[in-house]
Amino acid sequence: MAQQSAPHLTRALGLTGLTLFGLSYMAVGTVFTTYGIVNQVTEGRLPLSYVVALVAMLFTALSYAAMVHKFPVAGSSYTYVQQSFGGTVGFLAGWLLMLDYLFIPMLNFLILGLYVSGQFPSIPMQIPAFIAIVVIYIFNILGIKLASRFNIATVAVSTAVVATFGILALKSAIGDPEAPGLLEPFLPGSQGFSPILTGAAILALSFLGFDAVSTLSEEAKRPNRDIPRAIILTTLLGGGIFILVSWVGALAYHPDDWSAVPSEVLDSAGVVLANFVGGDVFGVIMVIATIAGCLGSGLAGQVSVSRILFSMGRDEILPRPLGRLSRRFKTPVIATSVVSVIALSCLFLSLDQVAFMVSFGALAAFSMVNLSVIRTYLFPAKGTGERSVTGIIRYGLLPLIGFGLCIWLWTSLEPFTWVIGGIWAIIGVGILAAKTHFFSRPVPTMDFSEADVPDLNAVTHPERGHK
């Protein structure tokens, strides 16, 4: 009897689709999501915090690109750390990463609810947030091709509105005699660099698009070539947009004291800025674009975390049903359902709580991926590794810098975030202990033998079958 092959996801995404998926996950309009919160923390130096965050994330993006070459499968940092340091550390890295992936959809649904409720005060934010959860769940079940088309549309709408905002903000700044100097938003405030680092740590959640791209390795046509390129492109394009938009926004809208700005303005900064530079009509357009961006980012977030749960369920580290695919749609329907149920938490959490927790999980996972590059390439279990000068720089020095920057940002988060993150980590250790009978049994790891891994560079066609 022929041995039944393991379930495979459908390969449907090229470089453009992967990059747009990453940008959709980042949501070019996400610059307004934490606009008020970070400006308050940094005394109006949001652009400088974005520069610091981009530099740190570029080093980590290079590490992700390196690991994709070794392990072009679904699972993201869970897979990379697992293959570098073993099942136990890999599980904990994946568990911490899930913290931010589970909170990312909540963040988008929460923002969507706040913006709709702000525009229509008679509508409680919970109603539009709940409707968005249901819509995204349906799109997620129907398949990656439909999700990709939806992402392209939302990226187009968000980009057009953000570009319009940039033009209007620049026009407003040019006619404002009290506008700050062109370089002032990039200079530290009275408290030095400490608030800038705290702001950059929060903004780490804005760069999760490159990590989301890495989870689609089993749905890319040519993962070894296109996934690394999409990771770098997503980081550079997204970071550049964030810096530019926050810079023109700082030139146009510059309160004397951000600490005195009301909380309702901080939570819906996009509408406030749009009304300020373009009037009420553009404010309505901004709300519509924000809804589209939140739906696109929420969809990408649901896709990514469901693939991580699928990978961990397939490895039998989490319950095995999570690793099953729908026979009809070839999507991880059970994992997707679990993520949607958890997303309902957005109905009672606050915006700043969710934002801090996303960054906590992301920076923890990013740190471990940087170390995984050093372990995998310079100190492999077999062989001598990449010990040339080029290899030491590419796979040693650069990941080490990325690790240091991530730890620096991680330790800059608020103490309350560490309390919640610590509780989440303890829960993960408890699950792992139960799964391994209190560590008396090894943690299952993924098998990358040649017989089990398809030709990952081949373009596959459904009508011809997989190579």
Q: Are 253 and 273 in contact (CB under 8 A)?
A: yes
Strand partners, 465: 461
| Residue 459: strand, helix, or coil | coil
Write down the pLDDT at residue 448.
Answer: 37
Quote the tokens at residue 436.
Answer: 């391994």
Write down the pLDDT at residue 173.
Answer: 87
Q: Give the span between the Cα atoms of 299 and 296, in whole angstroms.
A: 5
Write down the pLDDT at residue 286.
Answer: 83
Sign of the CA dihedral 277, 282, 283, 285?
negative
Break the chain into its structural domains and give their ranges.
19-435
Q: Give the span between the Cα atoms of 297 and 33, in whole angstroms.
A: 12
Write down the pLDDT at residue 7.
Answer: 53
Closest C-alpha among 123, 144, 170, 41 to residue 291: 123
Q: What are the Cα distances from residue 84, in Å, to 87, 368, 391?
A: 9, 10, 17
Tell me the residue type at 331.
T
Domain covering 19-435: architecture: Up-down Bundle (1.20)
CA-CA-CA-CA dihedral for 242, 248, 252, 253, to nearest 10: 20
Write down the pLDDT at residue 456.
Answer: 33
| Residue 467: strand, helix, or coil | coil
Write down the pLDDT at residue 233.
Answer: 92
Q: Give the span between the Cα atoms of 116 and 268, in whole angstroms.
A: 10
Write down the pLDDT at residue 410.
Answer: 86
Closest C-alpha among 133, 136, 155, 464 to residue 331: 136
Q: Give the span between the Cα atoms of 36 and 383, in whole angstroms.
A: 51
pLDDT per residue, tens digit, the chain (467 aa), is 444 455 555 676 788 888 887 887 676 677 887 888 888 888 888 999 999 999 989 999 999 989 888 877 666 777 888 888 888 888 788 788 777 778 878 888 888 888 888 778 888 888 988 998 888 888 777 765 666 666 677 767 777 888 888 899 888 888 788 878 888 889 887 787 888 988 898 888 788 778 778 777 777 788 778 888 999 999 999 899 899 989 998 888 888 777 777 766 676 777 788 888 888 888 888 888 778 777 777 777 787 778 778 877 877 777 888 878 777 777 788 888 888 888 888 787 777 777 778 788 888 888 999 999 999 999 887 767 777 888 899 999 999 999 999 998 888 887 878 888 889 889 888 888 887 888 788 776 544 333 333 333 333 333 333 33
Name the CA radius of gyration of the chain, rounded.
22
Q: Are 66 and 305 in contact (CB under 8 A)?
A: no
